[in-house]
Amino acid sequence: MTVYGRAIALLGERPELAEAAARPFGFDLAGAAHGPAVRLASGAPLEAVAGDGRGGTYAVCGGG
């Protein structure tokens, strides 16, 4: 598992950590499933991992 994958898993497993990320950053794991799949110009994937409080998306570029 990648470092970012473990961090996302911890946020999913521990609601108090997810809440701590949600307050200052609007980081919401439930918001990851929005919009079409996107790829970078290089062809590397852009994986949505969370939504933000304003309708945007946090993403991991190129697999981490």
Eight-state DSSP code of residue 56: -
Q: Is it the case that residue 60 has pLDDT exceeding 70? A: yes
Q: Which residues are CB-contacts of 49 (< 8 A; sequence separation ≥ 6)?
A: 4, 8, 29, 32, 58, 59, 60
Q: What is the pLDDT of residue 61?
A: 84
pTM for the model: 0.71
Tell me how far apart the alpha carbons of residues 39 and 36 are, in angstroms, rounded to a whole number.
Answer: 10
For residue 58, the SS3 value is strand
Contact between 58 and 48 under an 8 Å Cβ cutoff? The reply is: yes
What domain count does the chain have? 1
Range of the domain at 31: 3-61
Residue 63 pLDDT exceeds 70:
no
Digit-coded pLDDT (tens) for 1-53: 688 789 889 999 999 999 998 888 888 888 777 667 778 888 888 888 888 88
What pLDDT is recorded for position 10?
Answer: 93
